[in-house]
A and B are shown apart, each in its own frame.
Chain A
Amino acid sequence: MKWPRRRFLQSAGSVALLATAGCELPQALGVVGPAKAARGPLTAPDGDEVDEIAHVLGRLSHGPRPGDYHRVREMGVDAYIEEQLHPESIDDAWGDYRVRRFESLRQPVGELFEYQEHLLLKELSEATVVRAVYSERQLYEVMAGFWTDHFNIDSSKGDCPWLKTADDREVIRRHALGRFSDLLRASALSPAMLWYLDGRSNRRSSPDEQPNENYARELLELHTLGVHGGYTQADIMELARCLTGWHVRTEELFKKGKVEFKPDAHDQGEKAVLGEVIPAGLGEADLDRVLAIVTRHPATANYVAEKLCRKFIADTPPPAAVRAVADTFQTTEGGIRATLKTLFAHEEFRAARGAKMKRPLHYLASALRVSDADSSVGEPVMEYLLRMGHAPFQYPTPDGYPDEAGPWMGTLLWRWHFAKALDENRLGGTQVNWAALREAAGGDEVFMRHVLGRRPRPDEARSYLACNNSPAVLLASPAFQRY
């Protein structure tokens, strides 16, 4: 066999797991892991409509847990936003601990090739869901998801099964709340992206070799200016010329996956992209020149602002908010944090409550959070995502999973199945103590408000009572599909 060392490491890991298997897993984690972050009492919103606290909590996170509402009410909405915009200041020992078992997430690029590809995808996808459910840095996780779709890579192409793990860590997560220009540059030089959009095959060693335009096109259409951003086919072709020569090593074991610039495969001639001339002979510096051109192009600010507003405000983003958000993006030269700050302060954001439809991953995470579930997020949870067409890192085309409600309307059946399974504690690897939760709420009335994020309407209360106070009917209700 090819990888005896890794095999040994894996079996050593399983021995360690067996050693702890005597005790119940959650308790075992509690004993050896860090303490769970303390949360306040279970107070629930009591407006007839979603109030500002519940709204902001819902949009910046994967849904409230018991105690979150209380905490945000105590600290104030603006302080909560500020806190979430600075994930580095948030203690997330518990969240970090829960993903520590995914050993592959920490491996450098070269080492990743020692793993079997399905194991990498499994660990990366499960970790994504675990973080969505358990991380304290919720906005950071929401933004990581946003950029994962923006710079979508289907992890099944070429060497992507191995390289996506590095892309997730070093591109998406490293820059999720940083600077757009850094994020874009990291993505352009990400070996996974070079594989996925054929940048590695984009070479021009001689004048009769035609550049591969795949990445150049998506860079303009999906990553920066947007499809109506005012570029032409000629711009795509010139941009592709600028990007020739970037190569991903496939040969040597420990340098496999390393990105290198090959001057011989680069088109050294003069180019013109979006009206700006890139003089001949810059070599690999062409990359930074063109990335600077596209990053400061107003269409990019507008396109990114529109996507952010669609994500955080409404499927049809209000133009005034898009303008304000685009302005900040432009003036801060793509400062993601500052851009989000403008968005979250905008009146359109504060007003647009309860009308976005959760995507399947968000739905599952919010149900696990609202119920304070103890979940290992294994196969049973991932199976639901697969059936709902939302398995992480498996979207087939470069545009990423859609954010609008329409494409997800067909997923209700599996949401209802999940609600029922969670209610009846039939979901493998997941435990919910409903009785304790109801007790913490002090009865059904507060419990319903906790789940729905507002007072139940008469029909909701009726259905809940008619179903013997079953949480499933609340989790399966139209209100809980939205945020």
Chain B
Amino acid sequence: MASNGFVHGNPDHPHCLVVVFLRGGADGLNMIVPVEDDGYYRHRPTISIGKKSTMALDSLFGLNSELGALYPLYQEGDLAIVHGVGSEDETRSHFEAQDLMEHAGPSAGGWLGRYLRTAPRVIGGPLASICIGATQPESLRGAPASVVMESIQTLSLGEGAEGFMDGLAGLYRAEEEGIGRAGHSMLTALRKITELQHTPYVPAAGAIYSGDDFGHGMREVAQLLKARVGVEAVALDLHGWDSHIASFALMNPLMRSLGDSLRAFRTDLGPQMAHTTVVVMTEFGRRVYENASFGTDHGRGSAMMVMGGGVCGGRVHHAWKPLEDAYLEGPGDVPVTTNYRDVLASVFSRHGGLSSFESVFPGFAVAPVALYG
């Protein structure tokens, strides 16, 4: 974090990282489908996604058409996919895996929090990190300060705050340095947020978010980013990916929500997408074999997506081995060929100016994925 640690006014183009966590272990195989891998179809006789229901990504993978909203982004090179991603955790427990992944290892404190504390290009103003939801996610633990909000409407000083804010404005204005400036920028941000609360929001360019909580959350993130209140990191969750049974019924609406909302977000942000990166991740993928209730059990490797922020997209990064028993991990899982840290590190070095990753990912030899060409 920049040493003075607060906003000097609002810079024109602070970079923002939006982390979307798919909770429950999202089945990467049925999202980014290895349509040319016979093993996939052999192991999933009922719940596999036929090639006709996908859109070609490259010579091996197809995008599940439920995520079809993302296809134009991929074609235009604004969306990169990494397959076979995961952590070193082998417990296949949601809790353990999410915990370890958000802390980046057993040494604890969240990686997003550590990034905000240590990245040279992070400014670290009062609204630097925002979490959409009820509680702070572990990844943000240790952040210098974080604002947890259910929605923009809840982010204010409450009834009759105008007089209070005017009173504070007078007191903080009296000081030029340090705390005076920090207070002044906080008040400016709060005023902007109050304006947002009183102005009906119309997304740009006809963007339409999905009607669920996730769509609503992404919409609010776009609204905040466009208001330029100094947001540099956002964490939000899309819950419900634990597809042990009837995976179609469970995953299709989630995939539509994810695809539609990410696309709407990009349309809505327009040129601002150049300094905004959206990362989509999950704690683990699913077993390659389907189970008897048309679902899948906890596995290992899944997929990550990186959208915007100048990413060289239109590409699936992978080190794929055919889904034959000889190559599967443990009880029959997609092997983890890329550690999730290597994807994040690439984003961090590009936008946060991080060159050494020891502070953010202690004890891990990072090998950043070439997301930017």
Residues of A within 8 A of B (CB): 154, 156-158, 357, 386-389, 394-397, 405-414, 416-417, 420, 457, 459-460, 462-464, 466-468, 470, 472-473, 476-479, 481-482
> Of A396, A464, A470, which is in contact with the most chain B CB atoms at under 10 Å from its CB?
A396
Alpha-carbon distance between A470 and B128 when the two chains are bound, in angstroms:
29
Q: How far is the CA of A462 from the CA of B4 in the complex (A)?
A: 30
- A sample of 27 cross-chain residue pairs with beta-carbon separation below 8 angstroms, ordered by A number, consists of A357-B178, A387-B146, A395-B109, A396-B108, A396-B110, A396-B142, A397-B114, A397-B142, A405-B179, A406-B3, A408-B144, A409-B6, A410-B125, A410-B126, A410-B145, A416-B164, A420-B161, A457-B174, A460-B171, A463-B171, A466-B166, A468-B163, A473-B164, A476-B168, A477-B168, A478-B175, A478-B183
Contact at B148–A389, with CB atoms within 8 Å?
Answer: no
Contact in complex: B186, A387 (CB < 8 Å):
no
| Inter-subunit contact A472/B164 (CB<8 Å) | yes
User: Given A394-B141, A413-B147, A413-B190, do A406 and B5 touch, yes or no (CB 8 Å)?
Assistant: yes
Which residues of A are found within 8 Å of B25, using beta-carbon distances? none
Q: Which residues on B sit within 8 Å (CB–CB) of A395?
A: 109, 142
A406 adjacent to B107 (CB under 8 Å) = no
Closest chain A residue to B117 by CB distance?
A407
Residues of B within 8 A of A (CB): 1, 3-6, 103, 106-110, 113-114, 117, 124-128, 136, 141-148, 157-158, 161, 163-164, 166-168, 170-172, 174-175, 178-180, 182-183, 186, 190, 359, 362
Contacting A467 at CB < 8 Å: which of B127, B163, B183? B163
Check A410 against B109 for contact (C-beta < 8 Å): no
- B124 CB contacts on chain A under 8 angstroms: 407, 409-410
Chain B residues near A156: list those with CB within 8 A: 103, 108-109
B364 to chain A, nearest CB (A): 14
CA of A407 to CA of B164, assembled, Å: 25
Q: Which residues of A contact B5 (CB under 8 A)?
A: 406-410
- Contact partners of B144 in chain A: CB under 8 A: 389, 407-408, 410-411
Q: Report B-chain residues with C-beta under 8 Å of the C-beta of A387.
A: 136, 145-148
The CA-CA distance from A419 to B179 in the complex, in Å, is: 17
Q: How far is the CB of B305 from chain A (nearest CB, A)?
A: 27
Select which of B142, B167, B182 is within 8 A of A389 by beta carbon.
Answer: B142
Which are the 4 A-B pairs with shortest beta-carbon distances? Answer: A396-B109, A463-B167, A410-B145, A409-B182
Contacts of B183 in A (CB 8 A): 412, 478
Known: A156-B108, A470-B164. 8 other contacts (CB 8 A): A158-B106, A389-B113, A405-B178, A411-B144, A413-B147, A420-B158, A463-B167, A463-B171
Look across to chain A and name the residue whose beta carbon is closest to the beta carbon of B124. A410
Q: Which residues of B contact A482 (CB under 8 A)?
A: 179
Name A391's closest neighbour in chain B (CB-CB): B141
List residues of chain A with CB within 8 A of the CB of B128: 410
A388 cross-chain contacts in B, Cβ below 8 A: 145
Q: Are B4 and A406 in contact (CB under 8 A)?
A: yes
Which residue on chain A has the smallest CB distance to residue B147? A413
A396 and B114 in contact, given A406-B4, A407-B5 (Cβ under 8 angstroms): yes
Q: Are B171 and A478 in contact (CB under 8 A)?
A: yes
Indicate if the CB atoms of B117 and A154 lie closer than 8 Å: no
Separation of A408 and B4 alpha carbons in the complex (Å): 10
Closest chain-A Cβ to B318's Cβ sits at a distance in Å of 32
Cβ of A478 and Cβ of B167 under 8 Å apart?
no
With a 10 A CB-CB cut-off, give which of B3, B4, B183 has the most chain A CB atoms. Answer: B183
* Chain B residues whose CB sits within 8 angstroms of the CB of A477 once the complex forms: 168, 171
CB distance from A217 to the nearest CB of B (A): 12
Q: Report whether B108 and A481 are in contact in the complex, using a CB–CB cutoff of 8 Å.
A: no
CB distance from A382 to the nearest CB of B (A): 12
| B128 nearest CB across to chain A (Å) | 6
Given A396-B142, A410-B5, A463-B107 contact (CB < 8 Å) = no
Contact B190 A396, beta carbon cutoff 8 Å: no
Residue A478 contacts which of B106, B109, B158, B180 (CB distance < 8 angstroms)? B180
Contact call B172/A478, Cβ cutoff below 8 A: yes
Which A residues are in CB contact (< 8 Å) with B136? Answer: 386-387
Min distance, Cβ B297 to any Cβ of chain A, angstroms: 27
8 Å CB contact of B113 from A396, A416, A478: A396
Which of A407, A411, A420 counts the most B-chain CB atoms under 10 A from its CB?
A407
Inter-chain contacts of A411 with B (CB < 8 A): 126, 144-145
When the two chains form their complex, are residues B167 and A467 in contact, meaning their CB atoms are under 8 A apart? yes
A459:B107 contact, CB within 8 angstroms: no
Q: A154 to B2, alpha carbons, bound, how many Å?
A: 24
| A409-B123 Cα distance, complex, nearest whole Å | 11
- In the bound complex, do residue B170 and residue A463 qualify as a contact, i.e. CB atoms below 8 Å apart? yes
Contact of B167 among A408, A410, A473, A479 (CB under 8 A): A473
Find the B residue at minimum CB distance from A390.
B145
Known A389-B145, A463-B168; contact A412-B126, beta-carbon cutoff 8 A: yes
B363 smallest CB distance to A (angstroms)? 9
Min distance, Cβ A404 to any Cβ of chain B, angstroms: 9
Point out the residues of chain B lying under 8 angstroms from A481, CB to CB: 179
Smallest distance from the beta carbon of A296 to chain B beta carbons, Å?
31
Return chain B residues, CB-CB under 8 Å to A479.
171
- Contacts A409-B179, A410-B126 given; does A396 touch B147 at CB 8 Å: no
- Chain B positions within 8 Å of A406 at CB level: 3-6
Q: Is the CB–CB distance between A154 and B171 below 8 Å?
A: no
Residues of B within 8 A of A405 (CB): 178-179
- Give the contacting residue for A414; candidates B145, B161, B164, B180; CB below 8 A: B145
In angstroms, Cα B186 to Cα A459, docked, is 19
CB-defined contacts of A457 to chain B, threshold 8 Å: 174
Residue of B nearest to A416 (CB): B157
**Which chain A positions have C-beta within 8 A of B103?**
156, 396
**A154: which B residues are within 8 A, CB to CB?**
107-109
CB distance from A420 to the nearest CB of B (A): 6
Contacts of B113 in A (CB 8 A): 389, 396
Give chain A nearest CB distance to B120 CB in angstroms.
14
Q: How far is the CB of A47 from chain B (nearest CB, A)?
A: 19
- The residues of A that contact B359 with a CB separation of less than 8 Å are 397
A387–B155 Cα distance when bound, in Å, is 13
Query: Bound complex: CA of A441 vs CA of B164, how far in Å?
Result: 23
Give the docked Cα–Cα distance between A414 and B129 (Å).
Answer: 13
Considering the complex, give the chain A residue whose CB is closest to the CB of B163.
A467
CB distance from B167 to the nearest CB of A (A): 4
Residues of B within 8 A of A407 (CB): 1, 5, 117, 124, 144
B178 partner residues in chain A, CB cutoff 8 A = 357, 405, 409
- The CA of A387 and the CA of B145, in the complex, are separated in Å by 6
CA distance A473 to B174 in the complex (A): 15
| Closest chain A CB from B176 CB (angstroms) | 11
Q: Who on chain A is nearest to B118 by CB? A: A397
B170 in contact with A394 (CB, 8 Å): no
Please give me the residue from chain B that is nearest to A470 by CB atom. Answer: B164
Using CB atoms, name the residue of chain B closest to A396.
B109
Nearest B-chain residue to A386, judged by Cβ: B136
* B125: nearest chain-A partner, CB-CB: A410
Minimal beta-carbon separation of B343 from chain A (angstroms): 21
What is the CA–CA distance of A481 and B168 in the complex, to the nearest angstrom? 13
Whole-angstrom distance from the CB of B136 to the nearest CB of chain A?
A: 6
Contact B142 A410, beta carbon cutoff 8 Å: no
Taking CB atoms, residues of chain B closer than 8 Å to A394 are 109, 141-142
Q: How far is it, in angstroms, between the C-alpha of A411 and the C-alpha of B147 when the chains are bound?
A: 9
Most chain-B Cβ atoms within 10 A of its Cβ — which of A357, A457, A459, A473? A473
Query: Once the chains bind, are A473 and B142 in contact (CB under 8 Å)?
Result: no
Given the known A-B contacts A389-B142, A412-B182, A417-B157, are A396 and B107 also in contact in the complex, defined by CB atoms under 8 Å?
Answer: yes
CB-CB under 8 A from B172, the residues of chain A are 478
**Please, how many angstroms separate the alpha-carbon atoms of A448 and B219 in the complex?**
44
What distance in Å separates the Cβ of B9 from its nearest Cβ neighbour in chain A?
A: 14
B168-A157 in contact (CB<8A)? no
The minimal Cβ–Cβ distance linking A202 to chain B, given in whole angstroms, is 15
